């Protein structure tokens, strides 16, 4: 073991001791001393938007721009503008994040964004990071390239990984269409124009003048074919205002030929791949030059910073062939950098949680993993809703659909809250408006317990551990440092009387403490990270749900039982018939089976137990 590895091992041991001991049988299992050796399912991920996390350097609040918020994008009183959080702020809070038990950071996009965009009266800022102009450098609102390197290095010294949020589907809104522009600057809607109604080889429709002679369509993805696509004015007449002619970097991104230019997406059918996402410039990812360009861009971030993975925004809106080329290239680039377990997971935002939709992108696109919207839907339906626990079982049954089956499902990042679709507490309060605060707290703890004990990679969205309860989009992007947004500060937090007006980094918050315990439990039990899932009980009504996680190395069985109902539960559930003893890892567990293969569980309302097998007969 190297001196560096010894320091990491000592750090991990110190964390477990400092956080409290677990009632385990035998010694705690050895974990990889070198963070590079950990598999994706060994991580606990903490997700944050840097602008909303902590502000350590007020000098960069305006991103080096002069003028009012319409230029700088900075207005800490408005939920749609920059608030001042930066990479230095994130770095100084690593103790807080690691104390929660997180082993990996998922950092929202850090690339230079268009500071402000939108029609007059409907403007907002790129504080979230998804309106990129320069894909090669850090946005000055967040800091510098050196700040990002310092963050990654500091995380790595602690044995933590860093996953970077990236975008390929689109850039900031720079391209305009002459058919939609107007003198007053407001513009007109640009409805989607299909490939059939507006073919690449005619200007303005089938009856228009011939252009792009010899182009055989975007399905023929050769250099020679795309060399014939010289005129981008087949559907609309795109142009870029003079002031922004070279605003994008690398410079090839300023070439109009590398965009679809077909108008607004309806997010259905053809337009889902070819349409502009909310007015953002939709990149022609079928073009070989674009494939090469993005491989070079994001391979460069691996080379320069040694990051450990990518979360890919708007994955479903990019053609599968792009991912089939991009993913192997990134894995190879990471391997060459000495990163053997580079984790790539795509956002396929199916809020209905349809496993078939999610799994398709692992089978067809060949993505290693996708964000587990099916898990999130099942937990919201059962713990922040009134559906039966068979919804959870149905979700697990769908694991066979992913490329690689249940092994692949263990790499899916699971979550109960996120920055687009709202926080779990918001949905719990919406579903149970008469519930007291204690009940909402218990529901939130139970939802997270499912996330930490079931297959997948748990992702905690910053603020959940402090009881944030905002709704969708901006409403759920509260400041962790003291906020000046009135709607955030009026929010009723869970588990505390504090508000977001004061900094929210309290390690004594009941949710922080509960999640830290769950993280310790998961770290100590290989079955919870790598184990096969065997559903022991589910019902069409709220109440008992029981799953055994089976350690693939030892056969050790860890039974997880939850009660999604508001009445106590007492039941017998099946376990392996060879076990003669059980130990409580969380909650009250019987010391032995009632009979071979049958184990009694008693659960309070909205509670959970974790019981581990001991000796075998």
Residue 31 lies in a domain: no
Active site annotation includes 347: yes
From the list 54, 78, 347, 478, the catalytic residue is 347
- The reply to whether 500 and 586 lie within a common domain is no
Residue 66 lies in a domain: yes
3-state secondary structure of 579: strand
Q: At what angle do helices 288-305 and 145-157 cross, to 10 degrees?
A: 60
- The reply to whether 438 and 587 lie within a common domain is no
Instruction: Please say which residue of 523, 551, 585 terminates a domain.
Output: 523
Residue 217 lies in a domain: no
- The reply to whether 512 and 541 lie within a common domain is no
β-bridge pairing 45-48 and 116-117? unpaired
**Residue 596 maps to which CATH number?**
2.60.40.1180
- The reply to whether 166 and 295 lie within a common domain is yes
From the list 173, 313, 465, 551, the catalytic residue is 313
Residue 178 lies in a domain: no
Give CA–CA dist 341/326, Å, rounded: 16
Q: What is the pLDDT of residue 117?
A: 96
Residue 430 lies in a domain: yes
- The reply to whether 300 and 327 lie within a common domain is yes
Residue 482 lies in a domain: yes
CA 190 to chain centroid, in Å, comes to 30
- The reply to whether 437 and 547 lie within a common domain is no
Residue 3 lies in a domain: no
**Residue 508 maps to which CATH number?**
3.20.20.80
Instruction: Please say which residue of 523, 558, 592 terminates a domain.
Output: 523
- The reply to whether 505 and 601 lie within a common domain is no
Cβ neighbours for 495, distance < 8 A, ≥ 6 positions apart: 437, 441, 444, 467, 509, 510, 511
Residue 210 lies in a domain: no
Q: What is the pLDDT of residue 182?
A: 64
Domain of 54, in residue numbers: 41-172+287-523
Structure tokens at 94: 């690593």
- The reply to whether 513 and 369 lie within a common domain is yes
Active site annotation includes 313: yes
Give CA–CA dist 444/465, Å, rounded: 10
Q: At what angle do helices 510-524 and 3-19 cross, to 10 degrees?
A: 130
How many domains is the chain partitioned into structurally? 2
Rounded (10°) CA dihedral 545, 579, 32, 464: 20
Instruction: Please say which residue of 499, 523, 547 terminates a domain.
Output: 523
Q: What is the pLDDT of residue 119?
A: 85
- The reply to whether 587 and 489 lie within a common domain is no
- The reply to whether 55 and 132 lie within a common domain is yes
- The reply to whether 409 and 549 lie within a common domain is no
Average pLDDT of adjacent 10-residue blocks, the chain of 617 residues: 36 34 33 81 98 98 97 98 98 98 98 95 96 98 98 97 98 96 67 98 97 98 98 98 97 98 97 97 98 98 98 98 98 98 98 97 98 98 98 98 97 98 98 97 98 98 98 97 98 98 98 98 98 98 98 97 98 97 98 97 98 87
- The reply to whether 500 and 373 lie within a common domain is yes
Whole-prediction pTM value?
0.94
Q: What is the pLDDT of residue 616?
A: 76
């Amino acid at each position: 073991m190297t001196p560096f590895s010894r320091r990491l091992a000592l750090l991990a041991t110190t964390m477990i001791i400092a956080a409290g001991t677990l009632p385990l049988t035998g010694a705690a299992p050895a974990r990889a001393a070198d963070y590079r050796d950990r598999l994706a399912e060994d991580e606990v991920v903490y997700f944050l938007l840097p602008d909303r996390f902590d502000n350590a350097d007020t000098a960069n609040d305006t991103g080096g721009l002069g003028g009012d918020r319409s230029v700088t994008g900075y207005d800490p009183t408005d939920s749609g503008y920059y608030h001042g959080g930066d990479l230095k702020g994130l770095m100084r809070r690593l103790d807080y994040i690691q104390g929660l038990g997180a082993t990996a950071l998922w950092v929202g996009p850090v690339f230079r964004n268009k500071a402000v965009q939108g029609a007059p009266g409907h403007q907002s800022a790129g504080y979230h990071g998804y309106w990129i102009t320069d894909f090669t450098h850090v946005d000055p609102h967040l800091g510098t390239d050196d700040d990002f390197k310092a963050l990654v290095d500091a995380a790595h010294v602690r044995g933590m990984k860093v996953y970077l949020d990236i975008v390929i589907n689109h850039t900031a809104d720079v391209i305009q269409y002459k058919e939609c522009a107007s003198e007053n600057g407001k513009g007109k809607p640009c409805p989607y124009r299909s490939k059939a109604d507006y073919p690449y080889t005619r200007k303005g429709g089938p009856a228009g003048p011939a252009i792009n002679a010899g182009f055989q369509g975007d399905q023929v993805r050769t250099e020679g074919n795309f060399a014939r696509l010289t005129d981008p004015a087949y559907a609309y007449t795109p142009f870029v205002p003079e002031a922004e002619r070279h605003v994008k970097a690398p410079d090839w991104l300023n070439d109009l030929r590398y965009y679809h230019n077909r108008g607004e997406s309806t997010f259905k059918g053809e337009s889902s791949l070819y349409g502009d996402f909310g007015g953002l410039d939709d990149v022609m990812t079928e073009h070989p030059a674009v494939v090469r360009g993005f491989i070079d861009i994001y391979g460069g971030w691996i080379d320069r910073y040694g990051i450990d993975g990518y979360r890919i925004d708007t994955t479903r809106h990019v053609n599968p062939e792009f991912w089939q080329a991009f993913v192997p290239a990134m894995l190879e680039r990471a391997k060459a950098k000495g990163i053997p377990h580079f984790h790539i997971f795509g956002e396929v935002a199916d809020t209905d949680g349809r496993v078939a939709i999610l799994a398709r992108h692992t089978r067809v696109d060949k993505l290693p993993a996708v964000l587990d919207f099916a898990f999130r839907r099942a937990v919201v339906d059962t713990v922040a809703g009134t559906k039966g626990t068979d919804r959870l079982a149905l979700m697990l049954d769908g694991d066979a659909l992913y490329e690689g089956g249940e092994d692949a499902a263990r790499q899916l990042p699971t979550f109960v809250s996120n920055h687009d679709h709202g926080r779990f507490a918001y949905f719990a309060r919406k579903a149970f408006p008469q519930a007291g605060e204690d009940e909402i707290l218990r529901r939130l703890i139970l939802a997270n317990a499912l996330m930490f004990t079931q297959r997948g990679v748990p992702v905690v969205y910053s603020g959940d551990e402090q009881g944030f309860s905002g709704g969708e989009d901006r409403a759920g992007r509260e400041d962790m440092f003291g906020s000046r947004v009135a709607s955030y500060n009026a929010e009723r937090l869970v588990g505390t009387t504090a508000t977001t007006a004061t900094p929210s980094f309290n390690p004594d918050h009941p949710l922080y403490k509960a999640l830290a315990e769950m993280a310790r439990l998961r770290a100590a039990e290989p079955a919870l990270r790598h184990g096969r899932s065997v559903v022991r009980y589910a019902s069409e009504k709220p109440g008992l749900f029981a799953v055994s996680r089976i350690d693939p190395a030892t056969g050790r069985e860890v039974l997880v039982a939850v009660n999604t109902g508001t009445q106590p539960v007492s039941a017998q559930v099946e376990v392996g018939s060879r076990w003669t003893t059980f130990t409580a890892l969380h909650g009250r567990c019987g010391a032995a089976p009632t009979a071979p293969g049958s184990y009694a569980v008693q659960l309070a309302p909205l509670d959970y137990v974790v019981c581990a097998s001991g000796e075998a007969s």
